Amino acid sequence: MRYRRPGLDIASHAVLILALLAFCLPVWLAFTAATHDQASLYTSTAPLWFGDQGLGNFRSVLSEPVARLGTDVTRLLLNSTVMALGIACGKIIIAILAAYAIVFFRFPLRRLCFWLIFITLMLPVEVRIMPTYKIAADLNLLNSYAGLILPLIASATATFLFRQFYLTVPPELLEAARVDGAGPWRFLKDILLPLSKTNIAALFVIMFLYGWNQYLWPLLITTESDYMTIVVSLKRLLSSADNLVPWQAVMATALLAMLPPVAVIVLMQRYFVKGLVDAEK
Amino acid sequence: MATLSLDALRKTYPNGFTALHGIDLAIDDGELIVVVGPSGCGKSTLLRMLAGLESISDGELAIDGRRVNDLEPAERDIAMVFQNYALYPHMSVADNMGYALKNRGVPKAERRRKVEETARLIGLEDLLDRRPRQLSGGQRQRVAMGRAIVREPKVFLFDEPLSNLDAKLRVQMRIEIRRLQKRLGVTAVYVTHDQVEAMTLADRLVVMNGGHIEQVGTPMHLYERPASRFVAGFIGSPAMNFLDARRADGDLALPCGTRIATSHEVHNDAVCLGIRPEHLSRVSEADDTTLTTRVELVEPLGADTLAHVRLDGQEEPLVARLDGVQPVAEGDTLYLRPDASRLHLFDLDTGRRLDDKDIHSCPSSPSSRLA
Ligand SMILES: Nc1ncnc2c1ncn2[C@@H]1O[C@H](COP(=O)(O)OP(=O)(O)O)[C@@H](O)[C@H]1O
Ligand SMILES: [Mg+2]
C-alpha cells in the first residue's frame, strides 16, 4: 500500500527515526563510553562523545586478564564461539538426520519417535536444567566444551522444520535417485542437502544466536574462567560490590560480544539473498 | 536389451487394497510394450513393480531369465522416465544425465563423453549447462529421456511421459520415442491412459482394467478382434457403438426391427452387438438392414464427419464416422448401414467376445515363453 499524503509521510518517518534512536542510542553510548578512562566515566554523566582512549580499552580487554574475570576477553570470545558453533552445527546435523529418518524411512515406532521429538518442543532448557546438570556432573562434563555443547545439541524445532521441508520434496526425486543407483547416503548428500541449502543457512543463523546467547546453562556448568562464555562474563563484570564497576571495560566487552553474531548475520544474509535469487525446486 | 517375464504378479498395498490380481506377460527382446487402461487400473503400480520401486506381493518377475523380485531398482539395470520428469533441480542437464553413471563409478571423462554423445542423439547439445528450471517442458522431457538412454539400460520404463506436454509436442515426442527405442533396440514398457498414443507406439498393447489384463496383442489385432467389450470400447476413437441384439433365424435382430445377417455362430439368444463408427455407412434409402436414426450433433473434422445420432429404443447415442464433408444437420434423419462383415459380438453378462475360441491366448513370441 502506498498513500501519497505528505502528513502521513512525515509521521511515519518520525516514528521510524524515533525507533531507530531508541535502538541505536544504547549502542552509541556503549561505544563512546568504551573510549573513555574509568575516572572520566565516574566524574560526568554518560558521555555522548568519544573520549581519549581510542581503541585502547578494547586492546587491553582482549590482551590482558580482566579484573574480576581472571581471563582475557579473547578467551571468552573463543569459548563462546566454540559453544555457539558446536550447538549450531550439532543441532543442524542431528536435525537433518532425524528428519531424514522420519520422512524417508519406514521403521517400527516411526510415528512414536516423531511425536516424542515433537513433544520436546514444549520443554525448553530451563525446565530440565537440574536433571541435566546432575547428568553432566556425573559424566564429568563440568568445565568442558562438551558440557557446554552436548546438553543443548538436539533441537526439536530444527528437526520439525527439516521434516516440513522434506515433505515438500517430490517423492519421484527419491525414486529417480534410487533408479539411478543412489543409496540413502548418496540421496542425502547429492540431492537433499543441496536442496536444503537455504534452510540450513537460515537455521545456522538462528541456532548460532541461540547458542551465543545461552546464559543459564553456561553459568551453571562452568566454574573456571577458562570455560566461561562472554555472555556470562558480562554479568560477572557488573556484579561485585568491593570496588567501582570498570564501565569502560564492560562496554568494550559488551561491544565485542556483539560482533560475532552480527558478523554471522551479515555473512549469512548475503547467502540468503543468493539462495533466494536462484531459489530452486 | 532384455526379455522380461511376468508370472502371476500380484500387488496388495499395505492398506489391504489389491491393485493387481495376477499379471502374466512375456516381453520380447527389443519390444515396445504399451500398457493402457483407464486411470486407477494399476498401470503405474505394475510399472513401479517392474522398476523395483514397489514391492512384489506375489508372483515372479524375471529379467533375462533371472529372478529380480528382491533386487533394488539400480541392480535391475532399468531406466525410468517419470510423468513429472523428476529431474534433480539443482544439477545441470549434464549432471542430471550423468548421475547414474557417477553412482556406478564411471570415470569423469568417460561420463562426459557418454553424456555428450547422448545429448547429440536427442538434440540437447546446447543445453548441457542449463538447470532444469531454465528449460521448457519439451526440453525437460528430452532430458528425462536422455537420462534414461545414457546408462544403456536393459529396459526402459515410461510412466505417462508425455501427459504434461501440449498436443503437438506430444505427437512429436511420441514419434521420437518410437524412433529412439527402435534405433537403440532397448526393450521398453510404456504406460499411458491415452489409447491413440498406445496404438501408435506399441509393438504390442496390454489393455488393463481393474487390476487385470483384459487383452494383449498388436494394436491392429486389438482393433480388429477385441477380446471383450471393455477392450472394444477402449481401443479406437471415437469409441465403438454397442447395441442390444437378439438372435433370430441365424440373423441378428435389433429392437428397432433392423435385421443384420451375420456369419458368426452364436448360441446366445441375446447378445451385445458392437459396431465401430467407421463401419456405419450412410445410405439414401431405408430397408430392413439399415438403421433409421435422428442426428443430434455433427462434428465436421474435414477428412470425415462424426455424426452423433439417436436410434429409437436405444439409450446411448450412436456415433457414425462418415466420409468427407457431409450435408447433414441436427434433426435430419440419417439411414446407416452397418458393415455386416465387421461386427463384434459380446456376451451380455461377461462382456467376452463370442465368436473367438482363443480369447484367452495372448499372442506372444515363443522365444520369451522359454523364460
Ligand atoms: N500406495 C498405495 N496404497 C494404496 N493404494 C494405492 C497406492 N498406490 C496406488 N493405489 C491404488 O491402486 C490402484 C492403481 O493405482 P495406479 O497403479 O496408480 O493406477 P494408474 O496408474 O493405472 O492410474 C488405484 O486404485 C490406487 O488408488
Ligand atoms: Mg498412473
Q: Is B17 in the pocket of ligand 1 (CB under 6 A)?
A: yes
Q: Mean pLDDT across the stretch B344-358? A: 81
CB within 8 Å of A220: residues ≥ 6 apart: A129, A133
Angle at B10 between CA B9 and CA B13, to 5 degrees: 145
Q: Is B40 in the pocket of ligand 1 (CB under 6 A)?
A: yes
pLDDT at A207 over 70: yes
The closest ligand to the CA of B43 turns out to be 1
Q: Mean pLDDT across the stretch B218-237? A: 93
Nearest CA of chain B to the CA of A9: how many Å? 41
Dihedral of alpha carbons A152, A154, A155, A158, sign: positive
The answer to whether B227 and B214 have CB atoms below 8 angstroms apart is yes
pLDDT tens per residue, range B68-97: 999 999 999 999 999 999 999 999 999 999
What pLDDT is attached to residue A242?
64
Put residue B78 in one of left, alpha, beta given phi > 0 → left and psi -120 to 50 → alpha: beta
The Cα A187–Cα A176 span in angstroms is 10
**Among the ranges given (A53-62, B112-121, B271-280), the one the predictor scored with the smallest mean pLDDT:** A53-62
Q: Which atom of ligand 1 lies at the shortest distance from residue B46's CA? A: 17
Q: Which H or E element spans position A187?
A: none
Query: What are the chain A neighbours of B73 within 8 Å (beta carbons)?
Result: 175, 178-179, 181
Q: Count H helices, E strands: chain A? A: 15, 0
More confident residue, A270 or B328: B328
pLDDT at B128 over 90: yes
pLDDT at B62 over 50: yes
What pLDDT is attached to residue B204?
96
Q: Which atom of ligand 1 lies at the shortest distance from residue B15's CA? A: 4
pLDDT tens per residue, range A148-190: 999 888 888 889 899 999 999 999 999 999 999 999 999 999 9
Structure confidence at residue B364 as a pLDDT band (50, 70, 90): very low
Number of Cβ atoms within 10 Å of the Cβ of A49: 8
Query: What are the chain A neighbours of B153 within 8 Å (beta carbons)?
Result: none
More confident residue, B23 or B359: B23
From residue A122, give the alpha-carbon distance in Å to each of A96, A128, B232.
20, 11, 62
Structure confidence at residue A129 as a pLDDT band (50, 70, 90): confident
Q: Do B89 and A195 touch (CB under 8 A)?
A: yes
Q: Is B276 in the pocket of ligand 1 (CB under 6 A)?
A: no
Residue B53 identity: L
CB within 8 Å of A277: residues ≥ 6 apart: none
The answer to whether A194 and B90 have CB atoms below 8 angstroms apart is yes
**Among the ranges given (A58-62, A231-235, B111-115), the one the predictor scored with the smallest mean pLDDT:** A58-62
What pLDDT is attached to residue A1?
58
Q: Which residue of A has its CA nearest to B131?
A: A280
Domain ranges of chain A: 70-280
Q: Is B42 in the pocket of ligand 1 (CB under 6 A)?
A: yes
The Cα A131–Cα A123 span in angstroms is 13
Q: Is B163 in the pocket of ligand 1 (CB under 6 A)?
A: no
Q: Which residues of B touch A (CB under 8 A)?
A: 48, 51-53, 72-74, 78-80, 82-84, 86-90, 99-100, 103-104, 131, 133, 147, 151
pLDDT at B363 over 70: no
What pLDDT is attached to residue B360?
42
What pLDDT is attached to residue B367?
39
The Cα B206–Cα A127 span in angstroms is 64
Percentage of residues in chain B having pLDDT higher than 90 = 71
Name the nearest CA neighbour of A200 among A110, A100, A80. A100
* Cα B207 from chain centroid (whole Å): 6
The Cα A16–Cα A20 span in angstroms is 6
Percentage of residues in chain A having pLDDT higher than 70 = 93
Residue of B9, B17, B84 with the most ligand 1 atoms within 8 Å of its CB, for mutation? B17
Structure confidence at residue B226 as a pLDDT band (50, 70, 90): very high
Nearest CA of chain A to the CA of B106: how many Å? 12
CB within 8 Å of B366: residues ≥ 6 apart: none
DSSP string, A233-253: HHHHHH--SSS---HHHHHHH
Spatial strand order in the sheet of B187-192: B78-81, B155-159, B187-192, B32-36, B204-209, B212-217
Query: What are the chain A neighbours of B83 within 8 Å (beta carbons)?
Result: 172
Interface predicted TM-score (ipTM): 0.84
Top residue of A179, A274, A281 to mutate, by most chain B CBs within 10 Å, is A179
Answer whether the bond into residue A124 is a cis peptide, omega within 30°. Answer: no
pLDDT at B156 over 90: yes
What pLDDT is attached to residue A281?
41
pLDDT tens per residue, range A107-124: 888 889 888 888 887 777
pLDDT at B188 over 90: yes
Nearest CA of chain A to the CA of B253: how many Å? 54
The answer to whether B88 and A191 have CB atoms below 8 angstroms apart is yes
What pLDDT is attached to residue A100?
94
The Cα A77–Cα A252 span in angstroms is 13
Return residues 139-198 of A near B (CB < 8 Å).
170, 172-173, 175-182, 186, 190-191, 194-195
pLDDT tens per residue, range A66-88: 777 778 888 888 999 999 999 99
Structure confidence at residue B369 as a pLDDT band (50, 70, 90): very low
**Grid cell digits, residue B178:** 518410437
Domains within chain B, CATH numbers bracketed: 4-229 (3.40.50.300), 230-355 (2.40.50.140)
Put residue B105 in one of left, alpha, beta given phi > 0 → left and psi -120 to 50 → alpha: left
Q: Do B89 and A186 touch (CB under 8 A)?
A: no
Q: Is B13 in the pocket of ligand 1 (CB under 6 A)?
A: yes
Question: What pTM value is reported for the model?
Answer: 0.83
Q: Where are the beta strands (DSSP E) in B124-267?
A: 155-159, 187-192, 204-209, 212-217, 241-248, 251-253, 259-261
The Cα B188–Cα B29 span in angstroms is 9
**Grid cell digits, residue B163:** 501427459
What pLDDT is attached to residue B127?
93
What pLDDT is attached to residue B362?
42
Q: Do A179 and B84 touch (CB under 8 A)?
A: no
Q: Which residue of B has its CA nearest to A191?
A: B88
Spatial strand order in the sheet of B259-261: B259-261, B251-253, B241-248, B270-275, B344-347
Angle at B100 between CA B99 and CA B102, to 5 degrees: 65
Domain A70-280 has CATH 3.40.920.10: no
The Cα B319–Cα A28 span in angstroms is 86
Name the nearest CA neighbour of A232 among A62, A65, A87, A83. A83
What pLDDT is attached to residue A254?
87
pLDDT at B365 over 60: no
Nearest CA of chain B to the CA of A177: how many Å? 8
Q: Mean pLDDT across the stretch B252-261? A: 84
What pLDDT is attached to residue B370?
37
